[in-house]
Structure 1
Amino acid sequence: MSESEDQRPVPRREVVTGVPRGARRRPAVPSVHPPARSEICEQTSLGTTYVRALMRSQLRAALGALAALALLVGTLPLLFVLPGIRSGPLPWAALAVGAYPVMWGIARCYVRRAERNESDFSGLIADPKDAS
């Protein structure tokens, strides 16, 4: 090594500091629109639209469950009409054992969908200030 390389100044380390992570806060963004909850309470046209959308989604869920139930119950009499099956135990077993678990499954799907619709609606009308 030559003397010129040894005499180069060593670069000084710089420490960059800032506000500790826990102390950082985002500035509050003022809401341009009032929360949807106030729109519903004041019965404005926007609030009416929100409620109508919830009712429509709940009606869709109910009609879907009703259609599935009608399909299930509507096809059961066909078991009694089919030749060779009329006298056997299959139609009665389908009525006694097969139909009820399917009805329970339809009801469970309906309740889950209705609760999901309500939670989506609650999330829509929730005030962001109440989230904390």
Structure 2
Amino acid sequence: MTQPTQPTQPPEGPQRVRITSSRRPTIRPSEHSLRDDIRNQTELGEVYVGGLMRAQLRLALRVILVGVFSLGGLPLLFHLVPATRRASVFGVPFAWLVLGLVVYPTAVLMARQYVRASERLEAEFTAVVTRGEGPGR
């Protein structure tokens, strides 16, 4: 009869490691992208996102100012020029025509222009970010 063999236990202590190269993996500049900076919220990424946010804020303020001066100026016009309060076109008061036929289409056009300009800003931002990703950054 043969005697049963017992499994051998590995020796206690640290295991041996075979080193084949002293080179360590490094991050090359071409592997690091602006998208990573933005995603990781680094200082550079915050600068780019802050620039986009400032551009969008300037756009929003311009649209608000145009709205306040053009549409908000109508009550001032009606108050300062009494003839506009009494004028009528085809029996309909002038103020009603202006408020009904000018204000709403103007507001829609301003909103449309705002959306287009905002999309253009975002497209330019995306182009800058993707341009900074390839080799030779």
* Fold conserved between structures, TM > 0.5: yes
Structure 1 unmatched ranges of 5 or more: 1-29
User: How far does residue 33 in structure 1 lie from its aligned partner after superposition?
Assistant: 7.4
Structure 2 unmatched ranges of 5 or more: 1-27, 88-92
Distance 1:48 1:85 in 2: 52
Kept in 2: contact 1:61–1:114 (CA 8 A): yes
Partner of 2:64: 66
For normalisation by structure 1, the TM-score amounts to 0.68
Q: CA RMSD in A?
A: 1.9
Say whether 1:118 aligns with 2:122. yes
Which fold has the larger relative contact order, with Cα–Cα distance below 8 Å and residues 6 or more apart in sequence? 2
User: How far does residue 95 in structure 1 lie from its aligned partner after superposition?
Assistant: 0.4
Partner of 1:3: none
Residue by residue over 1:46-91, the C-alpha shift from the partner in whole angstroms, topping out at 9 and shown as x without a partner, is 0000000010011111111111111122211023221222123111
Partner of 1:38: 36
Point out 4+ residue stretches in structure 1 off by more than 2 angstroms.
30-34
Q: Which residue type is aligned with residue 70 of structure 1?
A: V
User: How far does residue 128 in structure 1 lie from its aligned partner after superposition?
Assistant: 3.5
Identical aligned pairs, as a percentage?
38
Distance 1:78 1:119 in 2: 39
Partner of 2:111: 107
Distance 1:59 1:73 in 2: 21
User: How far does residue 45 in structure 1 lie from its aligned partner after superposition?
Assistant: 0.7
SS at structure 2 position matched to 1:128: coil
SS at structure 2 position matched to 1:85: helix
State which drifts further: 99-108 or 49-58: 99-108
121, 128, 132: which one aligns with 2:134: 128
Distance 1:50 1:33 in 2: 19
Kept in 2: contact 1:79–1:86 (CA 8 A): no
Kept in 2: contact 1:54–1:117 (CA 8 A): yes
Distance 1:32 1:128 in 2: 6
Kept in 1: contact 2:30–2:134 (CA 8 A): no
Kept in 2: contact 1:65–1:106 (CA 8 A): yes
